[in-house]
Amino acid sequence: MTATVDDVPDEQLDVSADRGMPQHVAIIMDGNGRWAASRGMPRTEGHRNGVKTVRDIVRQAGELGIGYLTLFAFSSENWSRPPSEVKFLMGLLRAYVRSDLKELKKNNVRIRVIGSREDLDPGVRRLLEDAEHATAECSGLELVLAFNYGARDELTRAVRKLSAQVASGGKQPDAITGEDIEACLDTAGMPDPDLIIRTSGEQRLSNFLLWQAAYAEFYFAPMHWPDFDRNAFDQALSCYKNRERRFGGLGTAVST
């Protein structure tokens, strides 16, 4: 196959960008329940304290000039938790958006929500849509809230959209490209995550960004989410800086 300069992704040609800083960081905020249990507190206290970490990390990401921060806040499988916990998490999201929207907007943060909105309470849904509209003109950090998100659900919905295009005669099956699939994902238009962080020591994706994580670097932090602080985030970022990403190529270590 002959490669031309047009085949090289723009970010690989951009000599001005800070090559060591990820453009998109995605975080699986895990361990709230265990954090609380280890202190003899109800799980909900862990979630409440987790919001404080969200505030700090969003601020830090903005200061560092990170373009996209995706936070996994509620998975499509988290509905299987006790109804009281689910209700608490819904209420916490609502409280967070209500109390922080003003400051987020002031800090030029743009909010985007990924995940299925269908099963959400209409009030929560409206609040999320309002937050997206209110910050649509912001040009700083893009804060992506993965809420009622599951990658298999996202891919299923994408397949449905593409199938509808085929059924209507607008698309030939043979002509479907990877870009067409990406355009049907909730993350359409966003760069793939460069770095995926998971707290609490668990080392799994739990149905997070399965398509988008194809070439992401992974970092597993041992502490629970409420204890993940600025220093821990700095550590994850400096670890990322020392990774060599190859994207299937040969990388820098090999000379020809």
Residues annotated catalytic, as ranges: 30, 78
Q: What is the smallest separation between the CB atom of 150 and Mg ion, expressed in angstroms?
A: 14
Centre a 10 Å sphere on the Cβ of residue 23 and count the other Cβ atoms it contains: 18
25 bridge partner residues? 69, 195
Out of 31, 115, 150, 226, the only residue in the binding site for ligand IPE (CB under 6 A) is: 31
DSSP state of 227: G
Q: Among residue numbers 55 through 114, which ones bind ligand IPE (CB under 6 A)? A: 72-75, 78, 89
Out of 30, 100, 153, 186, the only residue in the binding site for ligand IPE (CB under 6 A) is: 30
Residue ranges in contact with Mg ion by CB under 5 A = 30
CA distances from 160 to 77, 125, 156, 171, 181 (A): 20, 22, 6, 13, 11
For Mg ion, which is the closer residue by CB, 89 or 127? 89
129 binds, among ligand IPE, Mg ion, none (CB under 5 to 8 A by kind): none
Name the residue number minimizing CB distance to ligand IPE: 33
Binding flag, residue 29, ligand IPE (CB under 6 A): yes
Q: What is the smallest separation between the CB atom of 92 and Mg ion, expressed in angstroms?
A: 15
The angle formed by the CA atoms of residues 102, 79 and 89, to the nearest 5 degrees, is 30
Which residues fall within 8 angstroms of residue 205, CB to CB, at 6 or more apart?
A: 28, 151, 196, 213
Q: What is the smallest separation between the CB atom of 243 and Mg ion, expressed in angstroms?
A: 25
CA distances from 169 to 74, 105, 163, 180, 217 (A): 36, 42, 10, 15, 39
Q: What is the smallest separation between the CB atom of 30 and Mg ion, expressed in angstroms?
A: 4
- For the chain, the 3-state helix, strand and coil shares in percent, each to the nearest 5, are 45, 15, 40
For ligand IPE, which is the closer residue by CB, 200 or 212? 200
Q: Among residue numbers 147 through 186, which ones bind ligand IPE (CB under 6 A)? A: none
Q: Among residue numbers 190 through 209, which ones bind ligand IPE (CB under 6 A)? A: 200, 202, 204, 206
Size of the site for ligand IPE (CB under 6 A): 17
